[in-house]
Amino acid sequence: MALNLPQAPLPGDFQWGFATASYQIEGAVDEDGRGKSIWDTFCHLEPTRTKGANGDIACDHYHRFDEDFDLLSKYGAKAYRLSLSWSRIIPLGGRNDPINEKGIAFYNQLIDALLARGITPWVTLYHWDLPQRLHDRYGGWLNIEESQLDFERYAKVCYERFGDRVKHWITLNEPWIVSIFGYSTGGNAPGRSSTNPQSTEGNSATEPWIVGKALILSHTRAVRLYNKEFRVSQKGQVGISLNGDYYEPWNAQDERDHQAAERRMEFHIGWFANPICLAEDYPECMREQLGDRLPKFTEAEFALLREADVDFYGMNYYTSQFARHCDAPAMEDDYKGNVEEFQENNRGLSVGEPSGVHWLRSTPDLFRKHLTRVYRKYKKPIYITENGCPCPGEDKMEVEEAVNDTYRVRYFQDHINAVALSRSEDGSDIRGYFAWSLLDNLEWSDGYGVRFGVTFTDYNTLTRTPKKSALLLRKIFESHMRTREETSNGNLPEGSK
């Protein structure tokens, strides 16, 4: 398959690889002392809220990690982003609860196996799977004071046990998704909502904002702890992974839609990035709309934020949208900033090429704008900790057809080029890229239909088959790095700017 020439270079030390999450791939939910998480419970609700799917076996990575890491080597990955299961390490979750040594041993095996292959581990402490016992005990993330103390202790255990080898930590994955999908729409665990008819508990007008503050302070305690007790000896880095689309105005001639686009991004990204990256209050537009429903930070909490400076901004990006203002006042359960979202603008132009899932269209040019906006606003080095797509129709394909994933190859090429252009032409400090995902896996409430992996997983036999994108990603990055060498030697490749 021919590759398009890159338009801009990437440095030779640019980190790249693949990403996964524990509950989506591990399986072995009842083995070796692991406790239940809220996703174990959510996936077994009746009637089903995950299309009948669960993570009981998933990709069986727990027993097949060597096979999966051999794939990483075959694909040429320099780095691998994995998450730890809190309830595999501390089955009951709490700061006074016992540690599961078999869980520690499993993750030691993973880390050592990666390092033996020359692959750098990037470890996420929390990728959505809160121990069920903490949810039962005090409401989990709804209890701001208790949850942050339990998360701090969990982080400490991980730093103590793995920090001699792990030098790149991500505290939380996508706190926006945790807060909104878990406690507003109810589409994700624990499924609390007052607007979702399938939910029996929750308050969509208040709970997401409480959970958001709990996550911010939990992250902050974990970073401060590392800075005070581990940074000097372990010499690692700590950041967070935030999701967020980029928004363009639905009507480019309407100033109200320009304001709506910016407001939507503030509700999506500024909610967490302002306190975490700038040690500032939430965006003013959030305070204006939400009033007292948005919990305030105390002076002591602002001091805590200032003590927890992050080393990098982890960006999870998949697509962009158009935003249109609303004339009517915001509903009490609105979480978008009182805007409407569209995939076509007022002239009927699509934001990008459709993929294999309704909400994702390929938008590399807007990805570049997004990268540049985030870097200029928050001034933190950026690592793209997730980026990827399913191909059109891929969920219905057999393996022989699915491995020829030309849409995904094109998506990767275009989005990696956007990274290189944001670096070279816009001055953004972007240092790494993780493709989502290494394997087709459990896509949360979407079950096992949508396929984001660069490796085809047969869910009956658990056979792994590399797709073309996996084998070509290395060539895409190498071509950008050759461009760097040619540029430094004064020889621009034909077709380059």
Active site residues: 174, 386
DSSP for 238-281?
A: EEEEEE--EEEESSTT-HHHHHHHHHHHIIIIIHHHHHHHH--P
Q: In the numeric block, which tokens belong to residue 108?
A: 């030691």
Cα distance between residue 389 and residue 361, in whole Å: 9
Pairing relation of β-strands 455-457 and 246-249?
unpaired
Pairing relation of β-strands 15-19 and 246-249?
unpaired
Coil, strand or helix at 172: strand
b/e map 301-310, b = 16+ CB within 10 Å? beebbeebeb
In 3D, which of 229, 22, 39, 31 has the Cα closest to residue 126? Answer: 22
In 3D, which of 278, 373, 276, 277 has the Cα closest to residue 320? Answer: 373
- The set of residues, in sequence order, having a beta carbon less than 8 Å from that of 461 and lying 6+ positions away, is none
Beta bridge partners of 326: none
DSSP for 180-229?
A: HHHHTS--STT---SS-TT-SS--TTTHHHHHHHHHHHHHHHHHHHHHHH
